[in-house]
Structure 1
Amino acid sequence: MSIFDIVPVPSLDKAKHILCIQPHPDDMDISCGGTLAALADHGAHITYLTVTDGSAGTPVRMQEAELAAIRRQEQIAAGAHIGVRDYRWLDYSDAQWLPEAALQADLIRAIRKTRPDTVFTIDPWLPYESHPAHRTVGLCAAAAVLFAGMPNISPDQLEDGLSPHNVQQIAFAFTAAPNTQFDVSATWARKLSAIRAHQSQFPDNVWPVYEHVLTAKGREFGAQSGCAFAEALKVLAPFHLHCNIDILG
């Protein structure tokens, strides 16, 4: 008997109001842009919340404020391919240690404001993930999903007029332990177009390598689920996020 026999893995097909919590501009587009585009096509309202300003991610030295501005515009251009309707920016400094308590409170506030049924984020338990922002953002997003419905957590937000909100499901991208493969055959080209909008990260001289890797993985996941292209995610209910010894099942 597994916990998933009692509380099954939720279905992403039911997602109608999605909050995507990403460490940097481009993370959602790369990791699950095809899934998000498909859900947008089926009427889902998608909001991107970007935690850092992206001011460190460049192979060429430039002023941090200049790069942050470029990356914000690139993300808006990319989101047009996906079908993103709203954007939120926390503007934490990139490549610095993120304050977990403050970030968790910010994400709880964002959930209580946007009131999503589904949260997408990065899997912080990916083995060998060396980027601290990916680990911290994923952990804080998962905690925020768990805590946003509890009125005794961040009660000052209730005094500001917000109310507790229970998220129905959380989808972890960049995961090594997927339980869901989503058919993105119809939106694969849009995913690649969205990634290409991030020119500061994927200039012409490096794009062919990334395109080859992404396409190979998309086809691999697609072959496993009987379609041309698929993306793999770990989808959980909030009930699964605490004391779950069956999590890898």
Structure 2
Amino acid sequence: MTATDFVPPSALVVVAHPDDAEFLCGGTVAKWAAAGCEVTYVVITKGDKGSDDPEMTTERLAEIREAEQRAAGTVLGVRNFEFLGYPDGYLQPTLELRRDLARLIRKYRPHSVVTFDPTNRFLSDTYINHPDHRVAGDVTLDAVFPTARDRLTFPELLVDGYEPWKVRQVWLGAPAQPNAWVDIAATLELKKQALLCHPSQLGPEVALFVEARAQLAGAERGLAAAEPFRRFILEADPVHEAPPPGN
């Protein structure tokens, strides 16, 4: 099984803001969900700073963006949503955040976790990666290993019934050094539709933008459209143990 054909039985997608997941892995989520993967979205912040409207309030924007995220995830087949409610723009790599993410990993017990590549500070010559994105990726990795795995870390989670869990694979989106490409030719339209569910942030031109990006990523691997990842296999199993292809 190649990386482009892989479908985990369950996946937790951890991002900083509403709409991040659709940019990062919307085509992959749609592909996995259609094949039976139970996908859960974890959105860390309220996305309550992304407006230039002088009449907009943080409270109203947070409500709008949660509704947009639920609509977008539904287009892709996402089954579960968790909104942690941290303030947008101020995210820090705290122990509180790591405990919150470890709790959700133990709650949903995902085979795979998808998040940002925290090492990729510059996504292009025109975009500096948002600090919340990098923090989200960093803390998610710390929550995956070793926190969610180790029984004696945050013992209060045991009291609440959240037993330790070992994530088998991690997929880092927008990677600095990709080693896996998911073929999203069949789900690119769904990715575009999902992004258009975020009108408070995005205009119709976003569809052409993500199409061009997916086509460029795919061309590098002989695919019509793709999403790149840095994939880590932390715990092999009899069904999903094929290593990702090299660069």
Q: State TM-score, norm by structure 2.
A: 0.87
* 1:22-43 residue CA offsets vs partner (Å, 9 max, x unmatched): 1001111111100110001110
Counterpart residue type for residue 213 of structure 1: F
Counterpart residue type for residue 43 of structure 1: G
The alignment status of 1:137 with 2:131, answered yes or no, reads no
Structure 1 residue 127: Cα displacement: 2.7
Label 1:87 to 1:176 Cα distance change in 2 as closer, same or farther (>3 A): same
Q: State TM-score, norm by structure 1.
A: 0.86
* 1:211-241 residue CA offsets vs partner (Å, 9 max, x unmatched): 33322221112222222111111111337xx
The residue correspondences of 1:160-175 to structure 2 (distance < 5 A) are: 160-175=160-175
Choose the corresponding residue for 2:58, options 58, 64, 78.
64
- The residue that corresponds to 2:125 in the other structure is none
Label 1:144 to 1:229 Cα distance change in 2 as closer, same or farther (>3 A): same
Bigger fraction of residues in helix: 1
Structure 1 residue 10: Cα displacement: 7.4
* 1:175-229 residue CA offsets vs partner (Å, 9 max, x unmatched): 12111011000000000000000000113xxx42x33332222111222222211
- The residue that corresponds to 1:92 in the other structure is 86
Q: Which runs of 5+ in 2 are unaligned?
A: 123-127, 236-245
- CA distance in structure 1 between the aligned counterparts of 2:76 and 2:193, rounded to whole angstroms: 9
Q: Which runs of 5+ in 1 are unaligned?
A: 1-8, 240-247
What secondary structure is seen at the aligned counterpart in 2 of 1:191?
helix
The residue correspondences of 1:1-249 to structure 2 (distance < 5 A) are: 13-61=6-54, 62-98=56-92, 100-128=94-122, 129-147=128-146, 148-203=148-203, 207-208=204-205, 210-238=206-234
Q: Is the 8 A contact 2:180 2:231 kept in 1?
A: yes
Structure 1 residue 59: Cα displacement: 2.6
Q: Is the 8 A contact 2:18 2:43 kept in 1?
A: yes
* 1:53-108 residue CA offsets vs partner (Å, 9 max, x unmatched): 01001232310000000000000110111100110110001112435211001000
Q: Is the 8 A contact 1:97 1:133 kept in 2?
A: yes
The count of residues paired between Structure 1 and Structure 2 equals 229
